[in-house]
Structures are given as structure tokens and as C-alpha cells.
Chains A and B, each alone.
Chain A
């Protein structure tokens, strides 16, 4: 049995990898879930075709990051997976059902017509909305901590449900809508783009509001988080995160008004990076917040080593051919069926 334990800090590397996989999922599925959230509000059916086509070649690959996040957590930190999944039982199941309804709509919608097409339009919208809202609720429940006894979840069936998690759920809906709208600005033109730009403008305000609430409430709910952010000299080290976020919001606003096509999308990604970074710093080093650290939850070095070798080989390849796909389907999307 080989182990890379003596060469590298395995749990730390895996913590970084899983965090990255989850973040890539949030970004990539974020924009296509966001397109689903905005879907029924588009001005015409041909706009909707265009929106759908702009993400049809990518959604499957994007969702695979979720499987990697889940599967990777199981592989690298089985204890965290075994505690968090039962704790978030209902939102996880509802998210999965939402993802089913939106996922099949890609294929079904172009094969249906008239009223049944409307049905799949709504299935796409409400599926995306439900999946996003549940992901947000899970995040809200996660940051509030989980009851643990021994190696198991010890809380109740509705621990995840409270006003705070509902608020984070709504925040994520607006967050993904921002990614979706700015993606559409980049991938469409004409009336679809004009409409997407208007949407992005509205949504941006809500994203700023919710991000503000979450940022302020996190340190208020937890003394450790407060001490981390508001003690000297930490305060000054961490100040660039909120400041750069603020600058990015202003720049997105300007970009939208100057008719920039790419800038709003990439700066929205920047806002997500800043938010995720802030969250990561606040929750360090917990994998099950305030109960199990990433070191406690780690699989044995032999298991983490085996998967690390595969990851080191495969991850660059995966990123390579994912990039190839985005390259193949570059440019503005059309409103005709893609087959």
C-alpha cells in the first residue's frame, strides 16, 4: 500500500480540491440554473429557444461538478458526507427532484409543441428555481452548524429550516439569476440581450443587498467568526475582500450601462469568488461547521493518495476538454434547434 502522506498534507490538499469542485459547480451550474430562473420572463418564445441553446451543450458537464463534489466528499471525507447528507435530507432530495425536472426539459422541450412545450418550459423554470433555492437553504443551514453525536447526525428532520436558511435560499436565487443574465448578455444579441441586460440590472441590486445581509449576519451569529474578521491585524488583511466586492459591483453596473458583453459575466464570477472566499475563511477549518474539522473527517491517507494520483492526471484533462467544448460552442447562440 502506497501513501503520499509523508510528502504532502493530504487532508489540506483534498479540502482545497473539494472546495474548488463545489465552487466550480456553483459557477458553472449557477449560470445555467440562472438561465432557468429567468426563463419564463423572457419576451418571446424565440428568446427562450436561444436561452436554452446557449446552455444545452454545457449543462450536463456543469452538473457533473456536483457529482464530483458529492462523490469527492464521500471519497475524501466520508465522515462529513455521512453526517451532512442525513442532516440535509429533505433539501437534498428536493434539489435532486428539481434537477431532474430541469434536466429532462432540455431534451423534451424541443420534441414537444404547443401546450406540452409550455409544460416543459415550466418544468425547466421551477426545477431550476427549486434546485437553486434548496442549495441556498442547505448553505444557510450549513453555516449555522449541525448537531452531531459520535459519528452521526443527531438533529431533527427540520433543523435545516428557519428564517435564515430561507433568506440564504433567496439570496442564491438572485445570485444565480445574476450569473444567468450576464451569461445571456455574452451569448445572445438583439432583444434577448437587451432584456438580459435589464434583468441583470434589477438583479444586481438584490444580490448586493443579500450579500450585505449575509456578510453582516455571519459574524453576529458566531463569536469566533466575529473575532476572526474584526480583530487586528486580521481586519486589515481581510479588508480587500469586501472592498474588491464593492468595486466589482460598481464595475458591473457601469459595464451594463456601457453595453459591455463579457465584463459583467466575469465580474459576477469575481463577486462569487469573493463571497466564497469570505465564507471559506469564516468556516475554516470546519467541514461540518463547528463540530468536525476537515482533518477529523479525512479518509485514511491510502484512500486519499490513490484518488489524488487520479485527480492529478485527470483534472487537467477534464479542464482541457471542458474548455474545448466551450470553444467549440463559442459565439452567439441561435434560436433554431441544435440537432
Chain B
């Protein structure tokens, strides 16, 4: 029975599982790093210690998240080879340098200055520490630049040629790096990271307000988060729309799946909800708004929208996944914008910090950014199937020559370990949140955590008696 494992499907599940787990951490740290830089800047500028205390609290959460991001990221850099070796061989000439640049320009930068950021308080000047925070924030963005460039190239490949064996060769680096979908995907993802972080921070701030704890810190967290919700959430909607139009131009089959449209038609209605049936080739039980899909996609009420039947069955993505992930993502985006509108109204009435219903609302919104990020990636990654390099190379033909049972075992090991390790990580983050900012004076004079009971014997060793 062990021979019946389908290595392609298993390799896809394994990659999806490990990359989905991984992306949660960068999505959080990209936003968090930039926010910490702003906090430290405000602190140095104003001398207001609330900024510092909030920084000190969140930098610990940042450290845990970043640590988990690093270890789950190392896995990704090997999976291209272990599970997709044919893909690595064929595209190495094009994608290799992009990933190489990510390591050279981002990973070392982040890894080295993270140490200074976390542990360097008493060893470097405040300015140098601030510089370290900025460098780490910059590192996260540079890393996003390269990896999204590589991913976008797989979605909208250009600047390459193919030889008889199916190997790809670069012909124009600028075309490869700045491929058509890259600017949209990059801005969309970075903005998504910022919003994800903002809603986590805002939710925690709301929680403290509701419990009437750390009020000054909580107002800062919620206030800064709502600035993001008011101004950045609508911007994200515009970005998303532009990204969608770009996809329509380069990957129309993906858009057809997002919209659940099977027949090419003029004046296509927008299907709000429904159940796309891959076999029967139609979207069942659809609730429709006439002509809206054409309006959104072509900016013309009677514009023509291509349906999935334009492509042979074997060239279509799994429609239900794309269709529903898209709705989850857009739905959360709308909720974020609504949060911003509420926040703006409450702020103008000077009630932003004292409405319990709004605090509950923000608490409920805490994890939605992560869900939206995952849903968005599901749309774009499942939507480009069955291709691994869109229109050039099919996923099924690029898998490694390893046995299905081997992949099944490793997948099982990944699931077990990730759930255990990252479950523990989430637990420690929740504990840090429960503890809140440390406001005792000089609590961080030389170290942060008060000596745990196990360490009572250390005084004698510190005294140097054993030297």
C-alpha cells in the first residue's frame, strides 16, 4: 500500500504545509520590525518612557517570532532541492541568483543585527541600538523583495529562454527581477504584513484597555494600530484591485477561478457566494450581482470576462479553493476597512479608548491578518496550478525522484514537530502578552527577566570564588 502514495501530491502538501507555517512568522516580523523602529525613534525623540516600555515588551515577542521564522525558513531553502530537484535543476540558472541575493543582502544583515537589537542594550549606544533596529527592519523588507521577486517570476516569467532539455537560461536580469507581477505582489504583501501586525497590536491594546491594565501603553498600541487601519487598509484595497487587474492580464485562468466564472461572457455578474463544481463545470447556488464582475475587472459594465472553459480541463486550477480563499481574504479586508471607519468616527467623538464594544471588536480582529495572508497566498499559489512556472513548467513534472513513502514520513514528522514547537512558541507569546509591559523602574537595568528560583546559587559563582 505504501507504493500507492502519490509523491507529487505529498510533496505539494508538504511544501504547502511548511511554507504556510513559515509565512505566518515573516508576515508578523516584517510589520513588527518597522513598528519597533518607529517606537524607538519616538522614544529617542521625545524621551517618553511609555514608548520604551512598549518597545521592550514587543521586542521579546519579536524575538520569539523571529526565531521561529528563522528555523522554519531554513527548511524552505532546502526543500527546493529535497522535494523539487527537477525544478531546481531546470530553473537554477534563473532563480538561483535571486535566492542567493536574498541570503547575501538580507539574511546576514538581519541575523547579525538581531543580536545587537535583543542583547545589546548595555553594550552599544542608544543611537547604535536604534540603528540596529532600523537595519533589522530594512533586512526584513530586502528579504521580502527578493523572495517575492522569485515567486512573481514563477507566476509571470519573462527574460529567459528554454533549451531542448527544458532547462531555462536567463536573457535579461532586469526583466526577470522586475517581472510584471512583482511590484504589485511586493506592495500587496508588505502592506498585508503591516496590517497583520497592526491588528495584533491593536487587539492586545484593546485587551489591556478592557482589563484596565497598562492604560497608557494600551492607548499607544490601539491608537497606532488604528492609524494603520484608517489609512492603510483602504490603500490595501486599491493595491489588491491593481494586483487583480495585473493577474487578469497575465493569468486570466486564475481570475476566472477567483470569480467562479466558467463561460466567457459579456457583462458578467459578480458571484458573491456559491459552490464551484469542478466536474459539472459550473458554480452552483450562486448569489449574483449583475454585471459587477465585468465592471470590476474591465471597468466596463459590458466588458468581456473569460471563463474557465477557455482552458482545457487539465490546465485549470482547483476552483473551489481559489474561489473561497479569495472571498475570505477580501472579506477580512472589508472588515479591516470597517474597523478603520469605526475608529475614525470614535476618535472624532473622543471615544476611541473607552467603548467596550469597540475593544471587543478589536480583540476579535486580532488574528484576522494572518488568516487573510494565508488565504491570499492560497489564491495566488493554487490559482497558478497546474504550473510551477506559469505556462512553462508543470508542477507534476518537477518533483524529486524520491519515493512517496519517504515524503509521507517527512510530512508526518514536519506536522508533528511544527505543531509541537510552534504551539509552544504561541504559548510563550501569549504569556508575554499576559504579562504586559514591565514598568517597574530599572527592571531592565542589567537584565530583563527576574532571576528564576532555580538560579539562586549563582551569587557565589559571580563572586568569583571558583575562579
Contact = CB atoms under 8 A, between A and B. Distances in A.
Interface of A: 1, 44-46, 49, 56-58, 60-61, 63-64, 66-68, 70-72, 74-76, 78-79, 81-86, 89-90, 92-94, 96-97, 99-101, 103-104, 106-108, 110-114, 117, 151-154, 157, 189-192, 194, 299-300, 302-303, 306-307, 310-311, 314-315, 318, 321-322, 324-325, 328-329, 334-339
A97 B89 contact: no
11 contacts: A64-B108, A67-B73, A74-B96, A78-B93, A85-B400, A96-B75, A103-B70, A107-B64, A152-B86, A153-B401, A337-B447
Contacts of A96: 74-75, 78
Interface stretch (B195-203, B385-393, B452-460): B452-460
The 8 closest A-B pairs by CB, nearest first: A78-B92, A85-B81, A339-B448, A75-B96, A57-B115, A82-B89, A75-B100, A103-B71
Contacts of A70: 77-78, 81
Nearest to B70: A60
B449 A110 contact: yes
Given A58-B115, A303-B97, A335-B458, A68 B85 contact: no
Nearest to B117: A57
Given A61-B111, A85-B400, A339-B447, A76 B64 contact: no
B277 interface: no
Given A60-B70, A61-B112, A108-B424, A82 B81 contact: yes
Interface in B157-178: 169-173
Contact of A299 (B81, B92, B417, B431): B92
Interface residues of B, number: 90
B103 interface: yes
B417 A310 contact: no
Contact of B453 (A113, A152, A329): A113
B82 A99 contact: no
Contacts of B405: 157
A100 B75 contact: yes
A92 to B, nearest CB: 6
Given A151-B89, A339-B447, A117 B454 contact: yes
Nearest to A319: B108
B93 A300 contact: yes
B449 A339 contact: yes
Contact of A74 (B81, B400, B455, B467): B81
Interface in B123-174: 123-124, 169-173
B113 interface: yes
B462 interface: yes
A329 B115 contact: yes
A33 to B, nearest CB: 14
A91 B21 CA distance: 22
A65 B69 CA distance: 16
Contacts of B465: 190
B109 A189 contact: no
Contacts of A153: 85, 400-401
Q: Which of B73, B115, B410, B424 has the most CB of A within 10 A?
A: B115
Contact of A89 (B63, B70, B406): B406
Nearest to B444: A339
Contacts of A307: 96-97, 100-101
Given A78-B88, A92-B78, A337-B447, A45 B413 contact: no
A325 B428 contact: no
B99 A1 contact: no
Contacts of B89: 78-79, 81-82, 151-152
Given A81-B88, A157-B403, A111 B432 contact: yes
Contact of B119 (A49, A71, A190, A338): A338
Contacts of B68: 104
Contacts of B108: 61, 64, 68, 314, 318, 321-322
Contact of B400 (A86, A194, A325): A86
Contact of B103 (A72, A81, A306, A325): A72
A85 B88 contact: yes
B171 A1 contact: yes
Given A100-B71, A157-B402, A299-B96, 13 more contacts: A67-B107, A68-B108, A71-B103, A75-B96, A89-B82, A107-B64, A111-B431, A113-B452, A153-B85, A157-B403, A194-B466, A303-B170, A336-B446
Contact of A75 (B82, B99, B112, B114): B99
B421 interface: yes
A74 B99 contact: yes
B401 A84 contact: no
Contact of B461 (A190, A299, A314): A190
B451 interface: yes
B119 A339 contact: yes
B82 A85 contact: yes
Contacts of B102: 71
A67 B77 contact: yes
Interface string B389-426: 00000000000111101100110011001000100110
B93 A108 contact: no
A337 B402 contact: no
